[in-house]
Amino acid sequence: MKIDCYLFQGCGSEEILRKNIAEALAVDRVQAKVTFHVIDAERAVAIGLSGSPSVFVDGKEIQPQGTVGFS
């Protein structure tokens, strides 16, 4: 499994996101390659992200919000 997390610099959700992902993987005994990408708003729009954080599991966003860019 591959998990990609996209955040803007200083995102207030980063710490809890890291904790939640680690706990979920441990509880379910799942191995995953987890990568955190800190990007700017321009890059977020360019790749079509819907907010910060945006989390993708195996290439699919797990909570699309219907907006593009960081809000």
In this predicted model, which residue has the larger pLDDT, 52 or 2?
2
Element (H, E) at 20: helix 14-28
In a domain, 21, yes or no: yes
In a domain, 23, yes or no: yes
pTM: 0.84
Residue 19, number of CB atoms within 10 A of its CB: 10
Specify the number of domains making up the chain: 1
Which tokens is 49 given?
A: 């992200």
In a domain, 66, yes or no: no
**Where would I find the beta strands (DSSP E) of 1-71?**
2-7, 33-38, 54-57, 60-61
Reply yes or no on whether the pLDDT at 71 is more than 90.
no
Full domain range(s) for residue 11: 2-61
8 Å CB contact between 3 and 55: yes
**Per residue in 22-57, pLDDT tens?**
999 999 999 999 999 999 989 998 988 878 999 999
What DSSP state is assigned to residue 51?
S
